[in-house]
Structure 1
C-alpha cells in the first residue's frame, strides 16, 4: 500500500489517481470498468493531498505537471512554498487563534500580500510564435507582447533609450488546410493595443491566394518605436478573406461567421475590419490545436538593445495651475468619452488632479499617451505619490482599459483597506478581472489568495467562483493554478469543499435520471410524473446518495449546515430543465426545513450578478438609513450551466395567490382583493399592519431596483410575497432593458411593475388613503436618489463583468441603459422629474401588466 495505488480514466477522460482509500467504490466513476495498479512516485501523504486537490478542483494535477510552461512552473513553485509556510504557522496556532483567523465575522485586513517585485517577468519572448485561434467566436487570434522590453528599471546616467521601429518580420504564413475559403484571397491585419486604445495605425499584409496555405514572406511595420511601447501592449491579429463586390453581395457576414467560427475566419466589409482586432480576447493558447488553423509569425530579436525607463525623481515636473474646466470633466460618469482637448488639459494639470481630484485617476490614465515613452515614465512616477483611493473608487482601475502593471498594483494596494464583508460584496467582479491579468503571478491573485486563506467565508466563495468556470478553456489553467494554491494553503478546508463537490455530482445524476424518465414517458403526463418522482425518491434513499448529501455545509451559505434530506418533501419542478427541489431537515434551525433548488442546464451567472447588485442596493439604502426590506436570496453558479438557488421560506407567487382566489384563470389577474385577503389570512391584528408596512417598503425597493436595472419578463410567477408581507422578485433572465417581445411588439410596456392590487394593499384596502400612497411614493424617490449618488459604482461593477460571457452583457452599449435609467449627467431635480414621469407611466399603463398576467395565468392553467 505504501508503494502502490490504483488509477483510472474518469468520465472526463482524465487520469484520476485513487489515492484516498476512504472513497466508496460507487463514487469512483471510471470511463471503463478497469483500475490500473501503478507505483507511487513520492511520499504517500503528498500523493494523497495531490489526489484530493485534483478531485476538488476538477482537474488532475498531473495535467499541470505536464504543461511545458515556465511561468506555470514558477507560479506553482512559489505558491507551494508560501502555502507550506502558511500551514506551518497554522499548526502553531491555538484553537482560539485558528477560529479567529478562519471564522471571524469582522476580521481586520491583514498585512497584505507578498511584496510586489519590480522588474519584468522571467518569461522570455520567443523569436518565432505560432498563434492558434481561439475556439470562441467572440475572441480573435491575438498574442500578448509579454517580454519586449527586457529591462524596466531606472535609466543609466547619461544614456539615451535606443529607438527601433517595431516590426513583425521575415515570414508570415497562414496554414488553412483543406478549407472552402481557399478560393478567396486572404489578408492578415495586425494592431497594437494598450487596453482598448489603438496605439498606431494597424498593419495590413498583401493579399494571398494559395490553395492549402498562404505565405506572405513580408514585414509588417508599425508607426511606433519599440522604446515607446507600453509594457502591457498587445499585438492582435485577424485573418480574413477578401472578396470582390459581386461575391460580397451574394454572401452575408453572419452566415460565414457561424459556419467557420471555430477557426475565426471573418468575412467582413472594410468598415468592420477594425472591430475584428479585439484586444479584450484572452491571451491563453487554444488547447485544441490538432485540427486548428495556425498563423505563423516571426519577431525580430531586440534583446541586444535594452529599453530603459528614466528614474522617477527625474520626471516629476509641476503641471500648470488649476483650471475651472477640470471640475466639470472629473464629475462625469465612467462611460463619458473624453475628447482630445480634454485629455490634453487633464494631462497638463495632472498634479492639480492629484491634489484636488484624486478620485479622477481613471480619467488621467485615459489621457496618457501610452505610445510615448516619456508620458509613461511621468505617469509611473506620479503613481508613487498619488493619494490612496477608497476601495470602491479603486475597483474601476482593474478594468481592461487599465492594463499597466503599476496601475493594477496601485489599485490592489487600495483594496487592502476593504473589510472582509466589503470584499465578499465585490468578489464576483474581482474573480472576473483575473482574466485581464497577463501573468499568473500578479498582485490581484496574491491579494485574493491571502484574504481567502485568512477568512474561510471568502475562501469558500473564491473557490466556487473559480471552479464554476473551470470548463472554459481561456481560464482553465489560470483558475486551476489559483485553486491549487488556495487548497495547499487551506488544507483543513479541502474535505469540507470536497463533500460539496461530491454532493453536487449526486444531484446532477438525479437530475439526469429525471430528464431521461420524462423523455421516455412523454406521452402520458400523469404516468410520467408518478413514475419519475418515484424513481427520484428511490435514488435519494440509496445509502450512497444519503451519506453524500447529508451533513454538508451549504455552498450557498457555508455557515448553514445541511443535516439530512427530507425525501418525502423533495420533488422536481415542471420546467424544461427539471430543476430539483431538495428539502433538508435542520437541527440548528429549531426543526425547520430548508430548501434549495438545483439547476442543471441553466446559466445562473446573470441571476447571480443581479442578486449581487440588489444586495449592494440594499446596503447603500441602509447606509442612508432607509431599510426597504429587500430579499436578496442566495444564488450560486457551481459549474457549466449548473448551480443552486435558495428557497425563500413561507412565500408564494402572485400567480398562485390570485389563482387560489378565483375559479376562472382569466379573471384571477383582475381580482384586486386577492393579495390583501391572502395577507389577512396569514396575519391578524397588529401583525397585519406590520405586514402591510413590510409590503409597502419592499414594493418601493423593487420598483426602483427593477427600473434602474431594466429587469424584464415580470409575469406573476416571477414576483413573490412572503407571509410576513415582503414582496420580492425572482428569475432575472432579462436585464438592462432587454424586454420580451412577440411579433415585434414589446409585451412589457411599463418601466416597472406597480399594479392596482399592489396599491390596494399599500392603501390598506381604503381607496382614499392617499397618505399611505404618498409615503410609498416618497420611499421610491428617496431610494432612486440614493442609487443615483452611487451610479459610477454600478457602472464599474457591470463593466468589470463584460468578459464573463453573460447573454445580455456583452459590450459597453449594454451598460448605457444604467446611465440612462439613473439619469447620470443630469441634476437631481432633472433626474427626479424624469423618475416621476416614469412612476406616473407605470400607474397609467398598469392595465397592460394585468392583461399580460391574465394571458400567463391562462397558459399556466392549460398546462396543468
Structure 2
C-alpha cells in the first residue's frame, strides 16, 4: 500500500510524483454495505472517480440495487473533521483535500441545483452550509431565511435586465465616484433587574496553575451591566467559593437599575477570577487572578428580554485594560470550543407571564426649546466640541452638553459623538429624547459619521443614523474605509443590522467592493468569535452575486495551491537543513515538480488577482525567498494589459493585517495631501490578508532596497552604510539628463511624505532592507511590523533613537550632491511641514480609524493607550504654531541623530553579509 495520506493531499501528491507515483489508494464505502479499495488518479475529477468506481462495482454483489449513477454523490471527512458533501463533481480529488483517503457514496436527495450551489458556497467561504443548518439558533435561521428571500428577488431582477444593465450592475466602473425607551411593561417599572446565579456551575479552565501543596483558590464571579463601555450601575459580586473543578452559588445578584431603564443594547458582562491570599510584611492582601470572561445581551435579537436558564461558554484571553476585570468590548458570542473552556450557568428571572418586549420608537419630531445659550456657555461649548475623540469629558461638561443639546445640533452638528457620551443611558427619558432628536439632526459627512460606528455608540438608532450618512459615500470612498467597516461588524450584537445590509447592498452593486468585502471576511473565518457572523454575511453575498462565485472560487483554490507549495518548500528545507546547496537543489526540484502538475497549472493560470480584481493573471513563474517563512516570489503576466509582468509575494506564516492597515492609512494620507494640492509621490503598494497568517503583497517594479544599493557600491559591508554617494550614483545610473532632475524631485517629495507618515504613525524597525527606492526616484517603506511607537530594543536599550529616518545620504540626493544647496533642502523641509499640518487637520479621522480596529486582534493595537501615540505625534490639542514648533524639533533631532541610524544600518549590513 502507498503511504498514508497526510493532512494536506497536495503535499502528499507532490511527494508521490517525486517518487514516480501517479495514483492514490482510496477506500470507497457503498450504500449497499460493500467496501471497495481502488487506485485512482490523484488529479482526477470527482465525476471521473465516480465513473471508475461504478465500473468496478459492477463485479460486486448487490450492484443492481444501487440504481442510477447520477442518483449518488460522494461524502468525505474534510480538514475540519466534519462531513462534506461533494456535490460539485468538477473538482479534483487533490482540491477536495479529505482528511483521510476515504470516500462514502450516498444517495442524492432532490433539488440538485440548490445542493450544488450550497456546496460551492460552502467550499468558497470555508465553512460548509450544513454546519449553519445544524446550528440550533433561531436568529441564524431567521437571518438566512431573510437573506435568501432578498437574494431570490435580486436574481429575479437580474434576469429581467438588458445586457447593458447587467454589465453596469455586475461590472460597474472601478471605484466610480459616486424609539423611545418608554416604560417596557405596566407593573414592571419598580422592579430591579436581577441576574440570578442559581445552581451555578463553573468548570475550571485548566490553564490556571495552582501549587498542589496549597489549598485551592477561592473563586468569585463579578457581573456588570454595560451600554458600550459605560457601566449602567454598580457591578454585582458573588461570594467566594472554593473547590477544584466546580463552584456553585445559590444566590441572586442584583443591579440598581429598573427594567424599564435598561437600554435596548444593554449587555451583561461576567468575569470569573481566582482570589488568593498574599502575605507581605505581616500584611495580608488578596490578589485577584482573572480566569475567564463572557458577555451576553440583555435583550435578544427580537427585542425580547432574556429569561430562563442560559449556559455561557467563556473566553480566557484577556485584553490589557479591564475595568473591574469585566470586558464589555469583547464579543457577545459564546466560545464554540466548549470542551476546554469555563462554563457559566446563569438563571435570568421571569417578571411577567408574558414576554417583555422593548417597545419600538415612535418617531415624532421633538419641540425645539425657545431659549438659546449665552455667549459664555457658547465659547465653553465650542472648546469642548473641538477636542479630539480621545479626550475625556467630566460630569459637568456632560451636563452642559446635554442641557445645550439643541445648540449643539444647530452650531456643532459634527459633535454628535460627544452628545451621545453625555446621555444618561440608564434613564429612559434621556434615551427617548435623544432618539427623537436624531430624527432632525443634520446629516454628517461620511468621514465624520464613521466615529458613530465605534463601540462606544451601540444604540440601534445611532448606528442606523450613521449608516444613513455612509450612503452618501462614493464607491471609491467606501473602498477606502472598507477595512474598518468590516471590523466594526464585530461590534454589532445582532446578525441583521443596518451596517450588514448596507455593505451587502453596495457589494452586490459593485463587484470591486464585493471582491474586497469577500476577502476581508474570508480572511478571518478561522476566528471563533466571528466565524458564524462572517459566514452568514459571506453566504448572503454569494447568493446575491452568483456570477461572482466561480471567479472567487478560482482565487481560493489558487491560494490553497500556493500554500501547499510553500509547505512543501518548508518541509524540504527542514529535511535538508545540514546542506544548504543540497537543500536548495532538492527543494527547487520538488517545487517545480509540484507546479508542473496539471491541477496546479490550470488553477494558477487565468485568474483575477486577489490584490486587484481588474488584473487577469497568466503565465506563472515562481521561486522562493530565503527567509524564515519561505515566502513565494511569483511573476505573472497581466493578460488584460498586453502581457505586462506583475510581481506578487505569497506569505504563509506571517500576519499581514497590521501591514494592510498601515498601507491603508498611507493611502489615505496620500489622498488627503492630494486634496490639498500636495502630491508627495507615495507608493502604497497592495497588501491583502487572505487567511490565517497568510496573504499577498504586491511587488513594486523597478525598485531596490537601500541596503542592496549601498552594498553594491562597496566591497566591505561595514563601510557600505557610510557611503553617502551610493544612492545618488545609483539614481544617476538609472537616469540621465532631465530624467535625473525629475528623479531627484520624485525622491525629495516621496522622502518628505514618508518622513512625516512614519513619524505620525510611529513606524519602527526601520533599517536599510525595508526602505526602498524606485529607479524613477520614488522612496518608499515596506514591512510594518512595528507601529504606534513600538520601537525595537535590545538589552533594554532602544535601537532606534530618531523620530524618523532622515540620513545625510538622503539629504545628499535632495541637494543634488551639492553641499551648499540650501534652496533644495529648504523646499524639502517645507514639504514636510505642509504635509504634517494637513494630517493634523484630519487628526480625528486617523484616531477614529484606529479606534475602529481595536478588536481586530492586531499585536500592537490592543487598547486606547496605543492610539494615544497618534494624539501626541499630531500634537492634537495644541495650536498649529505650537504643533509646528514640536515637529521642527523632531525634524532637527532626526537630522542631528542620523549617525545612530547609520551605525544601526552598518550592523544590519554586516549581519546580512555574514548570512549570505
Give me the TM-score of the superposition, normalised by structure 1: 0.88
Task: Return closer, same or farther for 1:801/1:312 CA change in 2, 3 Å cut-off.
Answer: closer
Deviations 1:468-521 (A, max 9, x none): 000000000000000000000000000000000000000000000000111111
CA RMSD, 1 decimal: 4.1
Asked whether the equivalents of residues 321 and 352 of structure 1 are also in contact (C-alpha less than 8 Å), the reply is no
Task: Return closer, same or farther for 1:507/1:30 CA change in 2, 3 Å cut-off.
Answer: same
Task: Return closer, same or farther for 1:4/1:552 CA change in 2, 3 Å cut-off.
Answer: same
Deviations 1:226-281 (A, max 9, x none): 111111111111111222233999999999999xxxxxxxxxxx999844101011
Q: How does 1:229-244 map to 2 (within 5 A)?
A: 229-244=262-277
Structure 1 position 523, deviation (Å) = 1.0
* Separation of aligned partners in 2, 1:456 and 1:52: 19
Structure 1 position 290, deviation (Å) = 2.7
* Separation of aligned partners in 1, 2:422 and 2:548: 46
* Corresponding residue of 2:90: 22
Task: Return closer, same or farther for 1:832/1:253 CA change in 2, 3 Å cut-off.
Answer: farther
* Corresponding residue of 1:157: none
Asked whether the equivalents of residues 110 and 451 of structure 1 are also in contact (C-alpha less than 8 Å), the reply is no
Task: Return closer, same or farther for 1:694/1:211 CA change in 2, 3 Å cut-off.
Answer: closer
Task: Return closer, same or farther for 1:308/1:66 CA change in 2, 3 Å cut-off.
Answer: closer
Task: Return closer, same or farther for 1:521/1:272 CA change in 2, 3 Å cut-off.
Answer: closer
Structure 1 position 119, deviation (Å) = 21
Structure 1 position 97, deviation (Å) = 1.2
**Residue 335 (structure 1) aligned to one of 390, 396, 399:** 390
* Separation of aligned partners in 2, 1:587 and 1:653: 29
Structure 1 position 177, deviation (Å) = 5.9
* Separation of aligned partners in 2, 1:620 and 1:614: 10
* Separation of aligned partners in 1, 2:740 and 2:539: 53
Asked whether the equivalents of residues 113 and 447 of structure 1 are also in contact (C-alpha less than 8 Å), the reply is no
Structure 1 position 542, deviation (Å) = 1.7
Task: Return closer, same or farther for 1:285/1:754 CA change in 2, 3 Å cut-off.
Answer: same
**Residue 412 (structure 1) aligned to one of 457, 462, 467:** 467
Structure 1 position 4, deviation (Å) = 2.0
**Residue 284 (structure 1) aligned to one of 314, 320, 333:** 333
* Corresponding residue of 2:294: 257
Structure 1 position 37, deviation (Å) = 1.4
Task: Return closer, same or farther for 1:304/1:390 CA change in 2, 3 Å cut-off.
Answer: farther
2:654 equivalent to 1:602: yes
Structure 1 position 830, deviation (Å) = 0.5
Task: Return closer, same or farther for 1:256/1:801 CA change in 2, 3 Å cut-off.
Answer: closer
Task: Return closer, same or farther for 1:834/1:431 CA change in 2, 3 Å cut-off.
Answer: same
* Separation of aligned partners in 2, 1:206 and 1:114: 35
* Corresponding residue of 2:346: 297
* Separation of aligned partners in 2, 1:111 and 1:420: 31
Task: Return closer, same or farther for 1:303/1:450 CA change in 2, 3 Å cut-off.
Answer: farther
Asked whether the equivalents of residues 113 and 450 of structure 1 are also in contact (C-alpha less than 8 Å), the reply is no
Task: Return closer, same or farther for 1:454/1:767 CA change in 2, 3 Å cut-off.
Answer: same
Asked whether the equivalents of residues 751 and 842 of structure 1 are also in contact (C-alpha less than 8 Å), the reply is yes
Asked whether the equivalents of residues 615 and 632 of structure 1 are also in contact (C-alpha less than 8 Å), the reply is yes
Structure 1 position 525, deviation (Å) = 1.4
Task: Return closer, same or farther for 1:212/1:766 CA change in 2, 3 Å cut-off.
Answer: closer
* Separation of aligned partners in 2, 1:362 and 1:256: 28
Asked whether the equivalents of residues 398 and 411 of structure 1 are also in contact (C-alpha less than 8 Å), the reply is yes
* Separation of aligned partners in 2, 1:123 and 1:291: 37
* Separation of aligned partners in 1, 2:429 and 2:610: 50
* Corresponding residue of 1:206: 239
* Separation of aligned partners in 2, 1:644 and 1:299: 48
Task: Return closer, same or farther for 1:661/1:341 CA change in 2, 3 Å cut-off.
Answer: same
Deviations 1:560-613 (A, max 9, x none): 111121xxx521111111100011123433333211000000000000000000
SS state of the match for residue 676, structure 1? helix
Task: Return closer, same or farther for 1:257/1:763 CA change in 2, 3 Å cut-off.
Answer: farther
Residues 1-10 or 503-512, more deviating: 1-10
Deviations 1:71-104 (A, max 9, x none): 0000000000000111111111122112212222
Residues 383-392 or 234-243, more deviating: 234-243
Structure 1 position 24, deviation (Å) = 2.0
Structure 1 position 112, deviation (Å) = 24
Deviations 1:422-457 (A, max 9, x none): 000000000000011111000000000000000000
Alignment size in residue pairs: 806
Deviations 1:291-329 (A, max 9, x none): 433211111113458878899789x99999963210000
* Separation of aligned partners in 1, 2:514 and 2:179: 17
Asked whether the equivalents of residues 278 and 284 of structure 2 are also in contact (C-alpha less than 8 Å), the reply is no
* Separation of aligned partners in 1, 2:383 and 2:261: 31
Asked whether the equivalents of residues 583 and 595 of structure 1 are also in contact (C-alpha less than 8 Å), the reply is yes
Structure 1 position 647, deviation (Å) = 0.5
Task: Return closer, same or farther for 1:121/1:468 CA change in 2, 3 Å cut-off.
Answer: farther
SS state of the match for residue 242, structure 2? coil
* Separation of aligned partners in 2, 1:535 and 1:497: 28
Structure 1 position 35, deviation (Å) = 1.2
Task: Return closer, same or farther for 1:278/1:695 CA change in 2, 3 Å cut-off.
Answer: same
Residues 275-284 or 596-605, more deviating: 275-284
Task: Return closer, same or farther for 1:440/1:248 CA change in 2, 3 Å cut-off.
Answer: farther
Task: Return closer, same or farther for 1:294/1:844 CA change in 2, 3 Å cut-off.
Answer: same
* Separation of aligned partners in 2, 1:577 and 1:449: 35
* Separation of aligned partners in 1, 2:144 and 2:696: 31
Task: Return closer, same or farther for 1:19/1:340 CA change in 2, 3 Å cut-off.
Answer: same
Task: Return closer, same or farther for 1:317/1:436 CA change in 2, 3 Å cut-off.
Answer: farther
Runs (5+) with no aligned partner, structure 2: 1-68, 207-211, 296-318, 364-370
Deviations 1:509-544 (A, max 9, x none): 000000011111111112212221222122112211
Structure 1 position 694, deviation (Å) = 0.5
SS state of the match for residue 257, structure 2? strand
* Corresponding residue of 1:173: 200
Task: Return closer, same or farther for 1:205/1:552 CA change in 2, 3 Å cut-off.
Answer: same
Asked whether the equivalents of residues 185 and 260 of structure 2 are also in contact (C-alpha less than 8 Å), the reply is no
Residues 779-788 or 540-549, more deviating: 540-549
* Separation of aligned partners in 2, 1:97 and 1:803: 40
**Residue 86 (structure 1) aligned to one of 154, 159, 165:** 154
Structure 1 position 124, deviation (Å) = 20
Structure 1 position 172, deviation (Å) = 4.9
Residues 534-543 or 605-614, more deviating: 534-543
* Separation of aligned partners in 1, 2:735 and 2:75: 60
Q: How does 1:289-328 map to 2 (within 5 A)?
A: 289-304=338-353, 323-328=378-383
Asked whether the equivalents of residues 194 and 370 of structure 1 are also in contact (C-alpha less than 8 Å), the reply is yes
Task: Return closer, same or farther for 1:799/1:257 CA change in 2, 3 Å cut-off.
Answer: closer
Structure 1 position 404, deviation (Å) = 0.6
Asked whether the equivalents of residues 113 and 446 of structure 1 are also in contact (C-alpha less than 8 Å), the reply is no
Structure 1 position 16, deviation (Å) = 1.7
Residues 240-249 or 209-218, more deviating: 240-249
Structure 1 position 285, deviation (Å) = 1.7
* Separation of aligned partners in 1, 2:825 and 2:490: 48
SS state of the match for residue 174, structure 1? coil
Structure 1 position 175, deviation (Å) = 2.9
Asked whether the equivalents of residues 685 and 700 of structure 2 are also in contact (C-alpha less than 8 Å), the reply is yes
Asked whether the equivalents of residues 319 and 349 of structure 1 are also in contact (C-alpha less than 8 Å), the reply is no
Asked whether the equivalents of residues 802 and 893 of structure 2 are also in contact (C-alpha less than 8 Å), the reply is yes
Residues 7-16 or 815-824, more deviating: 7-16
Residues 81-90 or 580-589, more deviating: 580-589
Runs (5+) with no aligned partner, structure 1: 130-170, 259-269
SS state of the match for residue 550, structure 1? coil
Asked whether the equivalents of residues 112 and 447 of structure 1 are also in contact (C-alpha less than 8 Å), the reply is no
SS state of the match for residue 640, structure 2? helix
Asked whether the equivalents of residues 649 and 696 of structure 2 are also in contact (C-alpha less than 8 Å), the reply is yes
* Separation of aligned partners in 2, 1:20 and 1:350: 59
Task: Return closer, same or farther for 1:309/1:515 CA change in 2, 3 Å cut-off.
Answer: closer
Residues 75-84 or 245-254, more deviating: 245-254
Task: Return closer, same or farther for 1:59/1:703 CA change in 2, 3 Å cut-off.
Answer: same
Deviations 1:730-759 (A, max 9, x none): 000000000000011100000000001111
Structure 1 position 43, deviation (Å) = 1.0
Task: Return closer, same or farther for 1:377/1:808 CA change in 2, 3 Å cut-off.
Answer: same
Task: Return closer, same or farther for 1:463/1:848 CA change in 2, 3 Å cut-off.
Answer: same
Residues 40-49 or 781-790, more deviating: 40-49
Asked whether the equivalents of residues 754 and 780 of structure 2 are also in contact (C-alpha less than 8 Å), the reply is yes
Asked whether the equivalents of residues 173 and 213 of structure 1 are also in contact (C-alpha less than 8 Å), the reply is no
Task: Return closer, same or farther for 1:109/1:784 CA change in 2, 3 Å cut-off.
Answer: closer
Task: Return closer, same or farther for 1:515/1:319 CA change in 2, 3 Å cut-off.
Answer: farther
* Corresponding residue of 1:507: 562
